[in-house]
Chains A and B, each alone.
Chain A
């Protein structure tokens, strides 16, 4: 069955409405960005004009790295809840009995998390950039404006957000406990972040080509992750929590005493006959 955009839109709309009305998600999505915005902004505004260029550079690196945590952690936490949370509430099974395809559900759920996460990521960088340009002393403002990490961050925000979404969704389809899913997805979102950190802190020389290669690699991984998560989204596993058993091809050889469908329509199946048959 080909994916229906109408169904995907319906999933996105439902997910966004639920997020908007979920106080916990709204609070988490608001508090984390505020923390990761205030800390680097204060750090930048605190730099004195006469600060050494190495101090200035270090502060700018840290300040531009911290906001990158938001587009990774926020979608990872939300995605981790997305499937296991529905299963917890008993809402998943009715959805799985409809004709919605697994790809439609997965894409819809992923998009509903990805879009606000990326918007939030850009918003944080936008606000940070605006404040530093308006309020920091001119030398510091220029250092932020010319930092190579700034354009890199703009590219990495959607890629890291996508990684967080897929890791969270993949874990959410396999784990049966919401809290375990969220903790595991935070751990799962760390590897690309570690690479970004190495570059931001110049432990890995952040050349254009290295950044481009990393971005390309993440893009490929994100694309493949979509397919992997869609495969993990197995109805039987989601409903029963156990791995699907391999089917024995029908028709099955009737054992001695087992009744054909026509026979079984007689009012009472003798329990003796059944016991023999079983």
Chain B
């Protein structure tokens, strides 16, 4: 088994995975691996094939082509039952039985997993998600956030090696989403490999060791900071109190500065410039000196900060553009 991420044994190994529904290709030739204990973000727009990938890895549907292994077990009819025993899948909808209490829901699933010490495990799972005091409530009486918690408790029951979370904060208010983030961080601390499907880029950036961006095929994969660095040229954001009379003379010829452009149209107030540099830390002092020499009032000089959202939009726009 090859390794991924930090070099430990891969919890998920996917090779050239493809899934076709009729004439529609949902997933095309996707390959990646996820290290044991890693929190792996799987991003992409609606219809990108994220849920289909999760369903294949959860042994719910079979791939049209390619292969995958989860927890060291090849995905396929022979290993399906064993994979299901060792993973947990939390779909986008909590999928709780509304006429059953939280405990009854968990008892049912504990029985389906054939778990020993059921009551103790249920109590532990409920305590882990902070739902012990609502154990006897019917799930239909719970708020959306509490239902997500109950679904997460259900996913914890079998002490899974790999947990698939499909849009776990979809439709939750910021407070409830924050609580779920805390629970996911707790899973990482327990050493669970988490495969997190999400639309929320801030969520992925905060929680994931690595992310993959999908749009039917895999667009990119890596640590969020790596993606930012490799996708966007390194640059410095410069803000001065008033527009420079001749910015080309100020920035031209500076060591380490490859080019520049005004970030705002010329006006009477502060003016901004974006400088493409080879190394922001080395270029900043020279830029500062040049600005001071040009008698410019410097308000700020800082390396440009790109978010994961910028990376995502860049890649998805590129994909959409190529489709058009």
Contact = CB atoms under 8 A, between A and B. Distances in A.
A27 interface: no
Given A98-B109, A99-B114, A251-B15, A261 B33 contact: yes
B187 interface: no
A10 B16 contact: no
A50 interface: no
Given A97-B84, A235-B61, A239-B61, A268 B93 contact: no
A94 interface: yes
A246 B28 CA distance: 16
B65 A248 contact: yes
B89 interface: yes
A4 interface: yes
A69 interface: no
A146 interface: no
A267 B230 contact: yes
Given A99-B85, A274-B217, A275-B322, A264 B112 contact: no
Contact of A22 (B64, B99, B104, B222): B99
Contacts of A54: none
A18 B114 contact: no
A95 B322 CA distance: 39
B29 A277 contact: yes
A264 B32 contact: yes
B256 interface: no
A46 interface: no
Contacts of B271: none
A244 interface: yes
B60 A247 contact: no
Contact of A94 (B91, B217, B223): B91
Interface in A247-261: 247-248, 250-252, 254-255, 258-261
B145 interface: no
Contacts of A277: 29, 217
Interface string B144-164: 000000010010000000000
Contacts of B16: 250-252, 254, 258
A236 B31 contact: no
Given A18-B97, A94-B109, A261 B29 contact: no
Interface-central residue, A6, A93, A239, by most chain B CB under 10 Å: A93
A174 interface: no
Interface stretch (B18-26, B126-134, B171-179, B259-267): B18-26
B13 interface: yes
Nearest to A271: B318
Interface in A229-246: 235-236, 239-240, 242, 244-246
B62 interface: yes
B91 A93 contact: yes
A28 interface: no
Contact of B60 (A1, A93, A242, A248): A93
Contacts of A1: 81
Contacts of B90: 94
B41 interface: no
A261 B97 contact: no
A264 B10 CA distance: 15
Q: How large is the interface on A (under 10, 10 to 19, 20 to 34, 35 or more residues)?
A: 35 or more
Interface of B is mostly: mixed
B64 A248 contact: yes
A244 B15 contact: no
Interface string A21-32: 110000000000
Nearest to B311: A268
A58 interface: no
B61 A17 contact: no
Nearest to B77: A247
A269 B220 contact: yes
A119 to B, nearest CB: 21
B294 interface: no
A96 B19 CA distance: 19
A91 interface: yes
A236 B28 CA distance: 18
Interface string B20-56: 1110000011011100000000000000000000010
Nearest to B74: A250
B113 to A, nearest CB: 6
Contacts of B107: 10
Interface in A81-105: 89-101
Contacts of A145: none
A216 B86 CA distance: 44
Nearest to A255: B29
A89 B195 CA distance: 24
A99 B62 CA distance: 16
B147 to A, nearest CB: 11
Give me the 4 closest cross-chain CB pairs, A-B, nearest first: A267-B222, A10-B111, A90-B93, A250-B67
Given A14-B97, A268-B226, A278-B28, 20 more contacts: A14-B104, A22-B99, A90-B94, A91-B96, A91-B97, A97-B88, A98-B112, A99-B84, A99-B85, A236-B60, A239-B60, A240-B61, A244-B61, A245-B62, A248-B18, A260-B15, A265-B33, A265-B221, A267-B223, A268-B230
